């Protein structure tokens, strides 16, 4: 029998996809050329927000901007730990103005925002698990930003090298199930980084390539419920066997921009 999993209520910041579209290509998913159904995207996003609310999570929203079609991907805007905010510095010029918009939201909400000196794409590459932070690099966030995060939060930051351009952010290849365990797709990582993950999480859930390509690892777990892409059926079955409750939410339109559930969700950890 798997253990009883306990949910912890979360506070999430999201950005309505009023202006969401694929207008430039800064990752391989965006090069597909499939047009975005913007009406469907909005319906899918609203379903996600409703699912979070139905499971007791608190939702905050930041105002979208017409000239920033990727602003819906709130996870890239910051890492918030213990009430401290490390803001963003985006790699792509097209996304750079998002940083100030999100920083403005955090300041208005009463947070001090530490602006990073190096490229830092928030929870896209910085994933807290228990007492430390797993940190991706290779495509976006730099090792220098990992050091900035460690200095600001005073928690160990463990650098991991991403090697597959389809998995350009850490949160596309790995997610935290709870404070103790993760799910991930090993081939997204360099051999050394894989060895680190095996050492830290010997009992991790290992996803298949199909589930990873379905954005199954771009999931959000509250410790019990796992908000997950319905196409990631193998992973859904694996987490169910471990005692978690999958909550399938289809964000297929956002995949055309290289995003999914986690990308749309910024957690405010006070």
List residues near ligand ARG by CB under 6 A.
26-27, 30, 70, 73, 75-76, 95, 124, 169, 171-172, 257-259, 263
Instruction: Choose among 204, 13, 191: nearest CA to 113.
Output: 13
Residue closer to ligand ARG, measured from CB, 5 or 173 = 173
Given the residues 57, 91, 114, 169, the one annotated as active site? 169
Is the distance from CB of 7 to CB of 67 less than 8 angstroms?
no
Residue 235 Cβ, how far from ligand ARG at the closest point, in Å? 17
Active site residue 264: no
Residue closer to ligand ARG, measured from CB, 5 or 254 = 254
Residue 195 Cβ, how far from ligand ARG at the closest point, in Å? 24
Q: How far, CA to CA in Å, does 235 sit from each of 203, 222, 229?
A: 15, 16, 9
Full DSSP string of 174-242: EEESSSS-EEE-GGGB-HHHHHHHHHH-TTPEEPPHHHHHTTTTS-EE-SSEEEE-TT-HHHHHHHHHT
Residue closer to ligand ARG, measured from CB, 76 or 231 = 76
Residue closer to ligand ARG, measured from CB, 119 or 263 = 263
Is the distance from CB of 25 to CB of 19 less than 8 angstroms?
no
Is the distance from CB of 215 to CB of 255 less than 8 angstroms?
yes
Given the residues 15, 114, 146, 263, the one annotated as active site? 263
Instruction: Choose among 192, 172, 81, 173: nearest CA to 130.
Output: 81
Residue 26 Cβ, how far from ligand ARG at the closest point, in Å? 5
Active site residue 169: yes
Residue 90 Cβ, how far from ligand ARG at the closest point, in Å? 7
Backbone angles phi, psi at 130, to 5 degrees: 55, -130
By annotation, the residues acting in catalysis are 169, 263
């Amino acid at each position: 029998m798997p253990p009883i999993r306990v949910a912890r209520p979360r506070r999430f910041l999201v950005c309505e996809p009023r202006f969401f579209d694929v207008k430039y290509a800064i990752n391989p998913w965006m090069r597909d050329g499939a047009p975005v159904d913007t009406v469907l995207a909005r319906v899918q996003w609203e379903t996600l927000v409703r699912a979070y609310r139905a499971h007791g999570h608190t939702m905050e929203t930041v105002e979208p901007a017409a000239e920033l079609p990727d602003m819906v991907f709130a996870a890239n805007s910051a890492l918030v730990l213990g009430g401290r905010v490390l803001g963003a510095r985006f790699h792509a010029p097209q996304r750079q103005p998002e940083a100030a918009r999100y920083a403005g939201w955090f300041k208005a909400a009463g947070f001090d925002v530490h602006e990073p000196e190096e490229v830092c794409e928030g929870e896209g590459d910085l994933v807290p698990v228990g007492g430390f932070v797993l940190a991706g690099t290779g495509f976006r966030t730099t090792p220098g930003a990992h050091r900035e995060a460690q200095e600001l939060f005073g928690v160990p930051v463990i650098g991991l090298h991403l090697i597959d351009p389809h998995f350009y952010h850490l949160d596309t290849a790995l997610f935290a199930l709870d404070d103790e365990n993760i799910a991930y797709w090993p081939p997204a990582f360099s051999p050394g980084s894989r060895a680190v993950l095996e050492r830290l999480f010997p009992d991790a859930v290992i996803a298949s390539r199909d589930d990873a390509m379905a954005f199954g690892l771009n999931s959000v777990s509250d410790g019990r419920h796992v908000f997950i892409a319905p196409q990631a059926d193998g992973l859904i079955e694996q987490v169910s066997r471990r005692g978690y409750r999958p909550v399938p939410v289809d964000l297929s339109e956002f995949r055309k921009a290289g995003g999914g559930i986690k990308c749309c969700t910024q957690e405010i950890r006070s």
